[in-house]
Amino acid sequence: MAAEIWKRFEDKTVLVTGAGTGFGSALALRAAQEGARVGVHYNRSREGAEATAQRIRDLGGEASVYQADISSWDAVRSMADQVDAEFGKLDVLINNVGDVATEQMSWRDITQELIDRVIDVDIKGTMYMLHEFGSRMLEHGGGAIVNVGSTVIVRGSPRAPQYAAGKYGILGLTKSYANAFAPTVRVNTFAPGFMETEATLAREDWNSGRREKLIAATPAGRIPPPADLAATALFLASDEAAHIYGAYMVADGGYSMLGG
């Protein structure tokens, strides 16, 4: 029997970045199932964003699609203007967009372009979104922001050190803006472990034994699809998490547990 879905976001507006594919799409769909009007953001995957929005409408929900390169503050500001014009105000922002440099298989393959690309999106882009949308939430009298981080900050990344640096930077942004915006706007980080997204399934290392090794090292014994973690991430934006500020919440099936 399917679990009951509570309407935690009824009459609220939720914007999810990078919602055309993977975890972002799952977050957008779950927010809609929980009663939200959903803003579906994309940069290049317009087809995916439109598909996500249509799935929401098929559920009887309301969805709007927005395009922006979040590494540009001007583009973020323009998107914020569009959201305000359409919805009046934003209640929840899910900063899901991140660049993991999926084509990079080793630290030996790193280039300046790959460093700049990841940092521009993961740190600068997240900061632009926090600053612009958070400031407007303050003006409107409330809101919640969830930054999607990663457990890579616990383990490091010999594959892509700049990715670990970018995700670690998000913790600094989360704590800084959680302090700056409190108590009016709550800011937290949700850190999922490995998920079987389209991008992960297409990775060369995933299909050459890494998946099996990770499952063996994960106490939960599985690598979940994105939909399994969407409700957990949205918890941080819900009224149920009203006393949580500046937190880093891990959901990785126990893979990153420390200690004995």
C-alpha distances out from residue 57 to 30, 44, 79, 119, 177, Å: 13, 21, 21, 34, 33
List the single range of 13-22, 104-113, 117-126 with lowest mean pLDDT. Answer: 104-113
Banded pLDDT at 223 (limits 50, 70, 90): confident
Among the options 42, 66, 128, 163, which is catalytic? 163
Residue 212's pLDDT is 85
Q: Residue 260: what pLDDT?
A: 40
Domain boundaries, the chain: 13-248
- Quickly count: other Cβ atoms within 10 Å of residue 201's Cβ: 11
Per DSSP, 89 falls in state S
Residue 159, pLDDT > 80, answer no
pLDDT band at 257 (very low <50, low <70, confident <90, very high): confident
Fold of 13-248: Rossmann fold (3.40.50)
Q: Hey, how many other C-beta atoms are within 10 angstroms of the C-beta on 213?
A: 10
- Tokens at 71, concatenated: 């590494």
- Distance in angstroms (rounded) separating the CA atoms of residues 169 and 239: 26
pLDDT per position as a tens digit, 15-52: 999 999 999 999 999 999 999 999 999 999 899 999 99
Residues 87, 64: Cα–Cα separation, whole Å:
10
Helix (H, G, I), strand (E, B) or coil at 186: strand
**Residue 213 or residue 184, greater confidence:** 184
Our CA angle for 43, 46, 50, nearest 5°, is: 130
- What are the tens digits of pLDDT across the range 61-108? 999 999 999 999 999 999 999 999 999 999 999 999 976 656 667 677
* Buried/exposed 98-135: b ≥16 CB within 10 Å, e otherwise: bbbbbebeeeeebeeebbebbbbbbbbbbbbbbbbbbe
- Asked about 168 being catalytic, the answer comes back as no
At 44, list the tokens.
């290049």
| Number of Cβ within a 10 Å radius of residue 24 | 28
The answer to whether the beta carbons of residues 34 and 44 sit under 8 Å apart is no
pTM of the complete model: 0.91
